[in-house]
Structure formats: structure tokens, C-alpha cells
Amino acid sequence: TTAVEGVPAKVRERHAELCQDLDDYSYRYYLGSPVISDAEYDALMAELRGIEDSYPELRTPDSPTQKVGAPISNEFAPVEHLERMQSLDNAFADEELAAWAHRVENEIAVDAYLCELKIDGLAVDLVYENGHLVRAATRGDGRVGDDITLNIRTIDAVPVRLDESVRPAPALLEVRGEVFLPGAAFEALNARLADDGKPPFANPRNAAAGSLRQKDPRVTATRPLSMLCHGVGALDGVRFARQSESYEMLRDWGLPISDRYRVVGSLEEVRGYIGYYAEHRHDPAYEIDGVVIKVDDVATQRRLGSTSRAPRWAIAYKYPPEEVTTRLVDIRVNV
Ligand code: NAD
């Protein structure tokens, strides 16, 4: 605290205010009822980062710049993830992407990048023991999430038993992915809610979050949610050398994997992928808010490691928001 005393009072106050506001916004956002737009949230976060760049003594572990998600709600049983779930660092422009690649390649040679779509849904964690789905949880604060096992079991895309026709299931598999509501299903759901005189959801992400967080899984079952996997946590009984290899194994086990991911050999090709989907943003049945670029080689990922909130071996390239000012405050949001 003595170090913090050197920071001008005005800066300290603004910092405290931003921390408090961002924590509040996050809490509401992860419950499925945001009170400000993502662009506004990102702008406040950038302001907070700027302050902490100038006054690093303010960058404490409980700052929103250092944390993942938000604490869980107590509406569901808490579940401790086997391995921490993280967030992703962002690049909003080509220079930021190039700076990331430069940092990575300065440290270690990279032979391939995996490019995939950044699905605008909500992160979940599934645990399979000997091929059986035993638990599903939200990301929560990255360490502890909400137990949503019964709700996840209503999603057709999620196998309750792994398919062992190509290869046996491992003793333990913790798999991460994004749950989402396809655009057409979102429109249909909102029309149905309107017919019933109920408030609509502001966007497909909130609809997915609200649908998954139902106390009664029978309600979740009426919402055509889907899922795509994008990572593996704890693992026992199988190994893979590449992120892309893990995806092919997950696919063999019947887990949902996008066929839009690509493995490329250069930053130029990464740019090509980003450019392609900037033009074809609405081709997928779900909403995307960017592209995620990952170092494909797992040994290289391990060497690069992680910060407290995000891996150093991956980055999210975010597309500009399509609607900059959604007056979410004025929308009665269904939860
Ligand atoms: P994020 O959305 O920037 O990215 C990390 C997440 O992306 C991962 O946890 C994962 O679930 C997801 N993801 C989607 N596709 C993926 C893929 N192919 N590979 C890997 N991960 C993939 O991070 P976040 O920590 O969830 O949230 C921060 C963002 O959420 C902010 O930038 C802001 O836009 C938004 N937010 C908005 C509000 C608000 O009030 N509007 C509040 C909090 C956060």
C-alpha cells in the first residue's frame, strides 16, 4: 500500500471505480443479462489497462485485468475444474496480432498456427471418466464454476458416452468448448417469447447463457442449444502432440468439432484466414466475434506457458462490433 500512496489520488479513485464497475458488469454479463455493450466494456477495460501500465503498483491480483470471468452465483452447486480455465488475450488490429506473433517467435520457433472461429457463446467444461460424461460446469472464475450437468445433458451435440469405435476412451478427459444458440433458433425463441408476452433475449449469447442456466433442465431441453469444443484440460490415458491432433481425437470420440478450423504455416496465412471470415462472418450458423489463433504444437505451448488469466500461446483477433451502441440498459432482458 505504501507504493500505491505515490499514485495521484485522482488516478487511484478512477482505478477503484473502474475495478468496481467492471466487476459488476462482468457478474451481470455471465448471468446472461449484461448492462452495457461489449464495446463499452472493452473500452473501460482498455482504460483500466492504460492506468495500470502507467502505475504498475495498481495491478494487483484482484484487478479485473488479471482475472477470468466472475465469481459463481450460488444458484448451482460449485464445481472445481480439474485444470484452470482461462480467458484469451485480444488483438483488435493487425499490429497487435503481429506484436503477439513476434513475441512468440522471438522466444521459440513456431512451425504451425491453428486458426479457428471465436464463437460468441459461453464456455463450459465437460468431464468424461472412462468415456462417460460425469460432470459439466460453467467457467465461473476459471477455478470454480456452476454445476450444470443436467442442463448440458439436454444438448444433442454433447455425447453422454464417448464413441469408442475408432479408439478407446481415455480414463479421464476434461474438454472445453462453447455452448451457443444458432441464429435461426434465437430468432424462433424470441418470437415464441414475444407470443407468450415474455421479454426477449438481447442476443444469441445471452439466450444461450440464460437457457443453460435454467434451474429446471426441462426448460433447457426446449432450447436447441449446440456446442463446439476448443480445448482439452486434464487428461489421463491418451497423449497428443498437436492441438489439431487433439481435435481429431475428440471428433473420433463423437465430440463436436468445427470443420472450419485450419492449420497454417505462417502469419501471412493467419491474416488470410482472418480476412476470409471478416468477409464471411455470417456463413456459420452461430455468431462469431473474431478468430482465435493458437500455436499448434503442444510442447511449444507448454514452453510458452500462461499468465494468470490467459495462455501466451494463443490470441483472439476480435472483429469490430457490428452494432457499436446497443442500448442494453433499455432492453428488458430475459434471464
Ligand atoms: P473473451 O470472450 O475475450 O475470450 C475468451 C473466451 O473465448 C474463452 O474463455 C472461450 O470460452 C471463448 N472461445 C470462443 N471460441 C473459442 C475458440 N475457438 N478457442 C478458444 N476459446 C474460445 O473472454 P472472456 O474472458 O469470456 O470475456 C471477456 C469479454 O467478454 C470482453 O472482451 C467483453 O467483450 C465481454 N464482456 C462483456 C461484458 C458486458 O457487460 N458487456 C462484461 C464482461 C465481459
Closest by CA to 228, choosing from 84, 120, 112, is 120
Measured between alpha carbons, how far is 191 from 186 in angstroms, rounded to an integer? 9
What nine digits make up the cell of 164? Answer: 469408442
State the pLDDT at residue 2: 63
Question: Does 29 contact ligand 1 (Cβ within 6 A)?
Answer: yes
Does residue 154 lie within any of the structural domains? yes
Does residue 40 lie within any of the structural domains? yes
Does residue 87 lie within any of the structural domains? yes
Question: Does 42 contact ligand 1 (Cβ within 6 A)?
Answer: yes
Residues 265 and 224 in one domain: yes
Does residue 326 lie within any of the structural domains? no
Cα(87) to ligand 1 centroid in Å equals 7
Question: Does 125 contact ligand 1 (Cβ within 6 A)?
Answer: no
pLDDT digits (tens, 9 = 90+) for 253-269: 999 999 999 999 999 99
CATH number at residue 63: 1.10.287.610
CATH number at residue 228: 3.30.470.30
The pLDDT of 26-33, averaged and rounded, is 85
Question: Does 333 contact ligand 1 (Cβ within 6 A)?
Answer: no
State the pLDDT at residue 314: 98
- ipTM rounded to 2 decimals: 0.96
The pLDDT of 37-56, averaged and rounded, is 94
State the pLDDT at residue 335: 41
Residues 258 and 206 in one domain: yes
Q: Write down the pTM of the prediction.
A: 0.92
State the pLDDT at residue 16: 97
Average predicted confidence (pLDDT) for the chain: 93
Q: Whose CA is nearest to atom 10 of ligand 1?
A: 123
| HEC sequence for 118-137 | EECCEEEEEEEECCEEEEEE
Question: Does 287 contact ligand 1 (Cβ within 6 A)?
Answer: no
Q: How many CA atoms lie within 13 A of 68 on its CB side?
A: 22
pLDDT digits (tens, 9 = 90+) for 276-287: 999 999 999 999
DSSP secondary structure, 189-219, as one string: HHHHHHHTTPPPPSSHHHHHHHHHT-SSHHH
pLDDT at 328 over 60: no
**Residue 4 banded pLDDT, cuts 50, 70, 90:** confident
The pLDDT of 209-223, averaged and rounded, is 93
159 contact partners, CB below 8 Å, separation of at least 6: 133, 253, 254, 255
Q: Domain range for residue 254?
A: 78-318
CB atoms within 10 A of CB 152: 24
Q: Give the residue ranges of the annotated binding site for NAD(+).
A: 38-42, 87-88, 116, 139, 178, 294, 318
Measured between alpha carbons, how far is 114 from 270 in angstroms, rounded to an integer? 8
Q: Give the residue ranges of the annotated binding site.
A: 38-42, 87-88, 116, 139, 178, 294, 318
**Residue 330 banded pLDDT, cuts 50, 70, 90:** very low
pLDDT digits (tens, 9 = 90+) for 149-200: 999 999 999 999 999 999 999 999 999 999 999 999 999 999 999 999 999 9
Nearest atom within ligand 1 for CA of residue 139: 9
